[in-house]
Amino acid sequence: MVRLRKIKGRALPVLNKKPKEDKLEKWARKEAKDYDIIFWKLRTPGNIGAPDRIIIGYGVIEFIEFKRSENHKLSAIQFEVTKWLRKRGFKVHVIYTKEEVTRVFTAVARLSSRIRKGTD
């Protein structure tokens, strides 16, 4: 069934497509388990601009902001929050592709392993 929405007196179909960002986030959630990484949705009621996810490895905490494509940049408030987190020593990744997710998860898993062994 196609839902219709009235815009300026005309009924137009409403597409129920999930954006690429949601699909990428869902894929990353499954992938995090393979890397033994905690992958939590970051909810900050009353505060806008926070990254989408927090990833936690052994002794490692980093943040991820998912974007649909290179054309979708951080909003002004997201940029400020990201800058604020980075000033305080946190890594914040803006992710567009599965390859970038894999790269970040590999780096976090590797760093976690070194910390766990006490070599870092």
- The torsion of the CA quartet 6, 7, 12, 14, rounded to 10 degrees, works out to -80
How far from the centroid of its chain's Cα atoms is residue 73's Cα?
Answer: 13
Mean pLDDT of the chain: 86
Phi and psi torsions of 86, nearest 5°? -65, -35
Range 107-120 average pLDDT? 84
More confident residue, 108 or 68: 108
Q: Name the band, by pLDDT with cuts 50, 70 and 90, for residue 114.
A: confident
pLDDT for position 17: 45
Class of the CATH-defined domain 18-117: alpha beta
> 83 near 70, Cβ under 8 Å?
no
The residue extents of the domains of the chain are 18-117
What is the CB neighbour count within 10 angstroms for residue 54? 16
What is the CB neighbour count within 10 angstroms for residue 119? 7
pLDDT in tens, 1-55: 445 555 566 655 555 444 688 899 999 999 999 999 999 998 888 889 999 999 9
> 52 near 64, Cβ under 8 Å?
yes
pLDDT for position 9: 65
> 55 near 38, Cβ under 8 Å?
yes
Q: How far apart are CA 52 and CA 59, in angstroms?
A: 20
Q: How far apart are CA 71 and CA 74, in angstroms?
A: 10
